[in-house]
Amino acid sequence: MTSVNVTTTEITVDVTAAGSTTVVQVPQTTTVTAVTEGPQGPIGPAGPSGLVVDTTAKVDKSLVYYDAGAATFKADAVWTVPTLSDGGNF
């Protein structure tokens, strides 16, 4: 947990979170705890658009492409920067 020490005296301190502001009058002593978001969860199921992305076989410099036979967007060794650029800069 991160601590914040306020060493200067101000008239008020405004704490805003989720669109709501709390005003703390000085010299009242108040503890304010700030938290950050944790890691993201797993990828959920395809939404109404049917978007499915398969990155299980991704390699360095993979490009995302659509595989109509599998009805899936893929990022694998089939299409990579070197396969498209033929020695040029991409």
Nearest to 63 by CA among 77, 46, 52: 77
How confident is residue 30, by pLDDT bands cut at 50, 70 and 90?
low
What average pLDDT does range 21-45 have in this prediction? 71
pLDDT the model gives residue 3: 62
Question: In sequence order, which residues have a C-beta less than 8 Å from that of residue 5 and are 6 or more positions away?
Answer: none
**Radius of gyration of the chain, Cα coordinates, nearest whole angstrom:** 25
Rounded CA separation 30/28 (Å) = 6
* Type of residue at 29: T
Provide the residue ranges of all domains of the chain, joining segments of one domain with +: 53-85
pLDDT tens profile 63-80: 999 999 988 899 999 988
Residue 74 CA: distances (Å) to CA of 22, 64, 67, 89: 47, 5, 7, 23
pLDDT the model gives residue 64: 92
How confident is residue 58, by pLDDT bands cut at 50, 70 and 90?
very high
